[in-house]
Chains A and B, each alone.
Chain A
C-alpha cells in the first residue's frame, strides 16, 4: 500500500468522492501554489469504499475553502498544525460563486458579453438553489446532482 507522509502545517481534504480530486485541485487553483501538494486517488475507505484525499502543506489561510462547500459539503477539512489535527472545518454553501458554473440562459447578458464573470447567488440554502446574478436563471445543485 502506498504511504504518503504527514504534513506539518496545512490542510488535509478527506472524504473526497473518488475521482473528484483533480476537479477540486483546479477549483482551488492548487497549481498556482508553491508548496507541497499530494493527491491520493482511490484510497480505501470504510465509509465510502473508495475516496480521494488532498494534502496541502501551506498556510491555512491561503486557500479559499468556500468553493468546497459548493462542490461537496461532505468533504472533511482537517486543519493541521505541528503535524496534528487542530480543527475540523465545517463546510457551508457559499453565498456567491464566481466562474464556477455558467449561465446557460441564451437570453442572459452573459451569453453575448464574454468578459462578464458568471456569478451565481445562493437563493435557497435548504433546496441548494442558486440564481444567476444577472438574469436570475435558477440553478439547482440537487437537480444537477440527480441527473
Chain B
C-alpha cells in the first residue's frame, strides 16, 4: 500500500512524474474530470485547517470523486476516546483514500500502519506536512521551469517553521542550490539542518538583514512567525514584525525572483506586494490543488 507520510517518501524521479502529471492536469483539466468517479476521499481532520482540507476536497471533486470526513476532533469519535488506529480501520470501510491532519506527531504513521487504503499525511503537529512541500516544489517547478540551479532565501521563523525544514530537506536533493537563511538570532534554522548542509557541502549563509541579501535571490520563501510556538507573549510581539516585505524591498530583488509563502500571511508581506507579478503565493494555492490531484491519482494507481 502506498502512503505519503513524509516529503522524502518520493524519490526525485517519482516527484518529476508527479509534477508532470500535475502539469498535464493544469493544461487539460477536462481529461481528468471523471477519473475518480465512484471513489471517495475521507478528510479526517482532528484539528481545523481550512486551506489544506478544502484543497484536498477540491482536488477530489475536480477528479469527479466524492468526499466524506470531519473537520475537527470534537465532531469525530476521538471525542469519545477512539484511537487513531480504530478510526482508521473504520474509515477504510467507507473510503478509498484518506487525508489525515492530527495535532500529534506520528499520528499519520499510526493510521498508515493500520490501513488498507492509502493515507496522506495532511500535517501531524510540528512534524511533517508533505503536501505543503509538494505544493512548494510544484510551484517552483511550474514557474521557474527547474528544481535546482538557484539561490533560495528562506525568511522569518526558521526555527519552528515546519514547512521551511521540509522544503530544505527536499531541495538539497537537487543540484546547485544555495541557501540564504534570513532570520532574527532567536529564530535561526536548527543546528541539525546546518550540520546536514555541512555534511553534504551545500552552500548556505545565515543573515539577519533581508535587504542585504534580497538582490541575490532567485526565490524568496517568506514565513509567518507563529504565536502558538512561543511560551512568552513578549517574545512573540517583539519578533512577529521583524520582517515586512514591501515594495521598497521588492525593488531590490531580481526581476524574476519569485516570492512564495505557505499562507496564511499576516504582516510579513505587505498587501502592496500582492500586485507584483513576482508574488506567487496565491498561485501557489492553485498549484497545491493540481499537485494534490496528481497525488490522489498516483496513490489510487489511476495514473
Contacts and interface: CB of A to CB of B under 8 A. Distances in A.
Contact of B104 (A112, A136, A137): A112
A133 B109 contact: yes
A109 B107 contact: yes
Interface in B87-131: 102-107, 109-110, 124-127
Interface in A79-122: 105, 107-113, 115-116
Contacts of B125: 107, 135
A113 B105 contact: no
Contacts of A113: 83-85, 110
A134 B83 contact: no
Contacts of A115: 83
A132 interface: yes
B83 A108 contact: no
A107 B126 contact: yes
B127 A136 contact: yes
Contacts of B124: 109
A132 B107 CA distance: 12
A112 B103 CA distance: 11
A133 B85 CA distance: 15
Contacts of A107: 103-105, 125-127
A107 B102 CA distance: 11
Contacts, number: 45
For the residues of A in contact with B, the DSSP-based class is loop
B83 A110 contact: no
A115 B107 CA distance: 13
B36 to A, nearest CB: 30
Given A107-B125, A107-B126, A133 B106 contact: yes
Nearest to A114: B83
Contact of A116 (B103, B105, B110, B126): B110
B110 A134 contact: yes
A136 B128 CA distance: 10
Interface string B12-54: 0000000000000000000000000000000000000000000
Contacts of B104: 107-109, 111-112, 135
A110 B107 CA distance: 9
A132 B106 contact: yes
Interface in A121-145: 132-137
Interface of B: 83-85, 102-107, 109-110, 124-127
Interface of A: 105, 107-113, 115-116, 132-137
Q: State the 5 A-B residue pairs at the shortest beta-carbon distance, nearest first.
A: A134-B106, A135-B105, A109-B104, A109-B106, A135-B106
Given A107-B127, A108-B106, 10 more contacts: A105-B105, A107-B105, A108-B104, A109-B84, A109-B102, A109-B107, A109-B109, A133-B106, A134-B106, A136-B127
